[in-house]
């Protein structure tokens, strides 16, 4: 009996391995005409000169080979989050369980697995297989493959059919259907590609891969690339979904998954560039009464703790897990300041805030630095809920819950990236967590958010409701869990919250993943998504904590123009 192969991805053991009209012959070898383009006329977009479809396809293949060569020199982080689904009469498809994978792509010497996650089975170099006659298993290779159309994309392997021209954001594209020729082997892409019409790079491809036999299965996916450097389009988002994939006659697979890539320019996230710059310090006159003296013991202790804190923060940023300082940190800092000022807190050294770029919902402190994950920021419904998170972490600082100062020794930072979650642990004891909850409630009661805590309690109810199914989403990797069994952080706020009603369209307890934070995959800088509110028309559109498709607004970088990042938000 043959074994099932399924190209479902996990995270890091990868094999990176308006209308155009055709010429008079009406087939793919016709000349692309520029005579009928009302969309371009209205937008005053210059139309390129005529070119044969065959010439366009040659250019597409050439650019795809260039893309594959570039990817061998880049090693971005890759994160895949999967939600398996079940049918619900009122809410449609809802999560029944989830999986999470994190790692780094390395194509320099073939496929290499650099997984941050240490669960058994993640280091397999083959596609996931049946663990029994009736069960399928997610492993990294399948989703990783979705970053490339074909590791040897050539015209001789495919039939092409021009469909139309359309805009993806600001980028005008040629839309082409692609189907493998017979007897060209399995694993070749079949579906639709979007090709930008200046350099003919593939910017989006949507479909699946051809199966080699009736025992082979490949998942459907929608893969997007962003123009991260002038002339260079790189993978950023992949959405995968199966609503009813049947296998072994009696079993079906239903899931939704998001894959994100970032950290392409890690060499500039550290401080090595300072060594290559010639810096001349301006002579300054110092007041010797305040400087030139040894630190007193209290100051020495604070400086030592800050050194441990800085070492950990710099290490997390250097490997791409922590976003560089930016606008989002200022927003978090404002919430912290609101809590500190209204409670007359004096904290030395000052409190800092940073954002962890991963999806699992977690927050923690590294000394006096409060860290909140991108996933948690995505799903929080309002500022009061954010204040609840920040108040808990600020309470750890106020109560003097200290960082292990062993991290002040720099050699503690000498470890492979994939051992990060094993070497760094910022979790607190149960007693410290309880004390922080009590102190946080006190801080919130005296804060500007005291009359808005009902929404924070409602968020906790929604989290409590979904926690049994979304164990990997709420599983922390560096700090403490928001919900652990029957224990729920800040549970005292549940009493002040309204009743959770998943049927009410005007009650938004939690948001879907991906709707609040915008990430530049090249530099790792983040911003808040600036979109207009969308009216919720049915309970199915609320989707708390759920995975949704990607539809980024594509932009093109110029050689001299300012950098732009595609905006991505979930489908509403």
Claim to verify: residue 260 and residue 303 sit in the same structural domain: no
Are 11 and 115 a contacting pair, CB within 8 Å?
yes
Residues contacting 350, CB < 8 A, separation 6+: 368
Short-list 360, 339, 257, CA closest to 10:
257
Best-predicted range by mean pLDDT among 129-133, 265-269, 413-417? 413-417
Burial class of 413 by CB neighbour count within 10 A (0 to 12, 13 to 18, 19+)? middle
Instruction: With a cut of 70, say whether residue 220 has pLDDT above it.
Output: yes
Cross-strand pairs, 13: 113
pLDDT value at residue 487: 81
Of 475, 495, 511, the residue that ends a domain is 511
The C-alpha atoms of residue 241 and residue 239 are separated, in whole angstroms, by 7
More confident residue, 302 or 49: 302
Residue 284 has pLDDT above 80, yes or no: no
* DSSP code, position 219: -
* DSSP-derived 3-state class of residue 376: helix
Kindly report the number of other CB atoms within 10 A of residue 220's CB atom.
16
Claim to verify: residue 260 and residue 324 sit in the same structural domain: no
Against a cut of 0.95, is the pTM above it?
A: no
**Are 79 and 138 part of one and the same domain?**
yes
Confidence of residue 17 (pLDDT cuts 50, 70, 90): very low
Q: In this structure, what token pair is assigned to residue 400?
A: 């003097």
Q: Rounded to an integer, what distance in angstroms lies between the CA atom of residue 470 and that of residue 416?
A: 29
Domain annotation covers residue 533: no
Residue at 547 is within a domain: no
User: Are 243 and 328 members of one domain?
Assistant: no
Same domain, 245 and 362: no
Whether the per-residue pLDDT at 537 is higher than 50: the answer is: yes
Domain of residue 447 covers 299-511
Q: Check if the beta carbon of residue 392 is closer than 8 Å to that of residue 440.
A: yes
* Confidence (pLDDT) at 534: 83
230: in domain: yes
Q: Check residue 92 and give its pLDDT.
A: 80
Q: How far apart are CA 324 and CA 271, in angstroms?
A: 12
Number of Cβ within a 10 Å radius of residue 281? 5
* Residue at which a domain ends, from 485, 511, 537: 511
Q: How many domains would you assign to the chain?
A: 2
When pLDDT is averaged across residues 168-178 and rounded to a whole number, the result is 96
Same domain, yes or no, for 188 and 332?
A: no
Instruction: Return the exposure string of 189-209: e unless at least 16 CB atoms fall within 10 Å of the residue's CB, then b.
Output: bbbbbbbbbebbbbbbbbbbb
Task: State yes or no: pLDDT of 291 exceeds 70.
Answer: no
Residues 10 and 90 in one domain: yes
DSSP type of residue 268: G
Least confident of 162-166, 218-222, 353-357: 218-222
pLDDT digits (tens, 9 = 90+) for 78-135: 999 999 988 887 788 889 999 999 988 876 654 444 566 544 333 333 233 322 333 4
The count of C-alpha atoms lying within 13 angstroms of the C-alpha of 165, restricted to the half-sphere facing its C-beta, is 23
Residue-level pLDDT at 412: 92
- Calpha distance 215→212 (Å, rounded): 8
Residues 386 and 476 in one domain: yes
Q: Using alpha carbons, select from 9, 17, 250, 248 the residue that is nearest to residue 133.
A: 248
- Ramachandran quadrant class, 344 (left: phi over 0; alpha: psi -120 to 50; beta: rest): left
Whether 24 and 94 share a structural domain: yes
- What is the model's pLDDT at position 244? 76
Q: What does the pLDDT average to over 420-446? A: 94
Query: Is there a single domain that holds both residue 106 and residue 154?
Result: yes
Tell whether 487 is covered by a domain. Answer: yes
Residue 164 placed within a domain: yes
Q: What is the mean pLDDT of residues 538-561?
A: 87
Tell me whether strands 5-7 and 216-218 are parallel, antiparallel or unpaired: parallel
Q: Give the pair of three-digit tokens for residue 497.
A: 């919250």
Length of the chain: 572
99's tokens: 């999986």
Residue in the block written with tokens 């809590």: 339
- Mean of the pLDDT values across residues 38-52? 48
289 within domain boundaries = no
DSSP labels, 55-68: HHHHHHHHHHHHHH
For residues 161-178, give the mean pLDDT.
Answer: 96
**Are 342 and 442 members of one domain?**
yes
* pLDDT for position 142: 64
| Pick from 331, 372, 365: nearest CA to 351 | 365
**CB-side neighbour CA atoms (13 Å) of 70:** 18
Q: Are 394 and 342 in contact (CB under 8 A)?
A: no
Look at residue 399 and tell me whether its pLDDT is greater than 60.
yes
Is the pLDDT reported for residue 390 higher than 90? yes
Q: Quick one: DSSP state of residue 132?
A: B
Task: Transcribe 413-467 into DSSP letters.
Answer: G-S-GGGHHHH------HHHHHHHHHHHHHHHHTSTTTT-HHHHHHHHHHHHHHT
Phi and psi angles of residue 128, each rounded to the nearest 5 degrees, phi first: -60, 145
3-state helix, strand and coil shares in percent for the chain, rounded to the nearest 5: 25, 25, 45
Radius of gyration over alpha carbons of the chain, in Å? Answer: 26
pLDDT digits (tens, 9 = 90+) for 182-211: 988 878 999 999 999 999 999 999 999 887
More confident: 360 or 487: 360
The answer to whether the beta carbons of residues 225 and 234 sit under 8 Å apart is yes
Asked if the model's pLDDT at residue 7 lies above 60, the reply is no
Report yes or no on 539 lying in a domain. no
**Residue range 443-464: average pLDDT?**
95
Judged by DSSP in three states, 534 sits in: coil
Tokens of 110: 């073939």
Strand partners, 194: 175, 204
Residue 350 in domain: yes
- Domain C-terminal end among 264, 283, 315: 264
Q: Distance between CA atoms of 7 and 453, rounded to whole angstroms?
A: 44
Greater confidence (539 vs 108) lies with 539
| pLDDT value at 564 more than 90 | no
Same domain? For 347 and 240 the reply is: no
Average pLDDT over residues 254-278: 70
Statement: residue 506 has pLDDT above 70: yes
CA 42, 44, 45, 46 torsion-angle sign? positive
- Average pLDDT taken over every residue of the chain: 81
Q: What is the mean pLDDT of residues 236-247?
A: 84
Q: What secondary structure letter does DSSP report for 480?
A: B
504 has pLDDT over 60? yes
Mean pLDDT of 240-265: 81
Angstrom CA distances, 531 to 134, 314, 451, stand at 44, 32, 27
Cα angle: 158, vertex 164, 166; to 5 degrees: 120
CB 242 within 8 A of CB 253: yes
> Could you give the CA distance from residue 312 to residue 291 in angstroms, rounded to a whole number?
28
Beta strands in 117-250 (DSSP E): 128-129, 158-168, 171-180, 189-196, 202-209, 216-218, 221-229, 232-247
């Amino acid at each position: 009996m043959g074994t099932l192969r399924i190209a479902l991805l996990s995270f890091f053991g990868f094999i990176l391995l308006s209308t155009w009209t055709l010429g008079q012959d009406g087939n793919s070898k016709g000349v692309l005409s520029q005579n009928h383009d009302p969309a371009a006329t209205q937008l005053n977009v210059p139309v390129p000169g005529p070119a044969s479809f065959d010439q366009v396809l040659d250019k597409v293949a050439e650019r795809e080979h260039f893309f594959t060569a570039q990817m061998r020199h880049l090693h971005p982080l890759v994160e895949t989050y999967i939600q398996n689904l079940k049918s619900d009469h009122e809410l449609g498809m809802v999560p029944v369980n989830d999986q999470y994978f994190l790692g780094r792509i390395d194509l320099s010497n073939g496929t290499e697995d650099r997984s941050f996650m240490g669960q058994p089975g993640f280091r397999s170099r083959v596609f996931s297989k049946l663990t029994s006659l009736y069960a399928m298993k997610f492993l990294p290779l399948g989703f990783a493959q979705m970053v490339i159309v074909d590791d040897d994309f050539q015209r001789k392997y495919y039939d092409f059919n021009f469909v139309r021209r359309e805009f993806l954001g600001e980028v005008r594209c040629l839309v082409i259907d692609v189907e493998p020729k017979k007897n060209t082997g399995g694993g070749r892409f079949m579906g639709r590609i979007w090709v930008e019409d200046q350099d003919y790079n593939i910017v989006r491809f949507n479909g699946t891969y051809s199966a080699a036999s009736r025992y082979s299965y490949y998942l459907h996916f929608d893969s997007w690339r962003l123009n991260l450097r002038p002339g260079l389009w790189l993978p950023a988002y992949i959405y995968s979904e199966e609503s009813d994939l049947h296998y072994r006659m009696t079993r079906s697979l239903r899931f939704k998954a998001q894959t994100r890539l970032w950290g392409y320019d890690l060499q500039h996230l550290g401080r090595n560039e300072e060594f290559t710059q010639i810096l001349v310090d301006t002579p300054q006159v110092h007041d010797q009464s305040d400087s030139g003296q040894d630190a007193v013991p209290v100051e020495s202790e604070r400086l030592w703790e800050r050194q441990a804190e800085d070492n950990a923060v710099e290490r997390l940023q250097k490997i791409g897990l922590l976003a560089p300082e930016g606008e989002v940190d200022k927003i978090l800092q404002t919430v912290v300041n609101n809590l500190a000022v209204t409670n007359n807190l004096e904290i030395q050294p000052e409190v800092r805030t940073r954002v962890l770029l991963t999806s699992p919902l977690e927050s923690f402190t590294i000394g006096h630095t409060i860290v909140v994950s991108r996933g948690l920021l995505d799903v929080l419904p309002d500022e009061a809920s954010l204040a609840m998170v920040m108040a808990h972490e600020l309470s750890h600082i106020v109560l003097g819950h200290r960082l292990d100062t062993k991290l002040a020794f720099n050699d503690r930072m000498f470890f492979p990236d994939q051992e990060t979650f094993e070497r760094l642990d910022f979790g607190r004891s149960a007693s410290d967590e309880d004390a922080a909850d009590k102190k946080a409630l006190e801080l919130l009661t005296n804060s500007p958010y005291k009359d808005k805590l009902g929404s924070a309690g409602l968020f906790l109810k929604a989290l409590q409701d979904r926690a049994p199914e979304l164990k990997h989403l709420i599983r922390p990797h560096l700090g403490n869990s928001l919900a652990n069994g029957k224990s729920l952080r800040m549970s005292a706020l549940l009493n002040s919250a309204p009743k959770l009603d998943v049927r009410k369209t005007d009650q938004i307890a939690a948001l879907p993943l991906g709707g609040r934070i915008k990430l530049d995959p090249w530099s790792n800088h983040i911003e808040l998504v600036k979109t207009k509110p969308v009216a919720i028309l049915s309970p199915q559109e609320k989707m708390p904590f759920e995975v949704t498709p990607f539809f980024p607004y594509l932009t093109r970088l110029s050689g001299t123009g300012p950098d732009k990042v595609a905006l991505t938000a979930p489908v509403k």
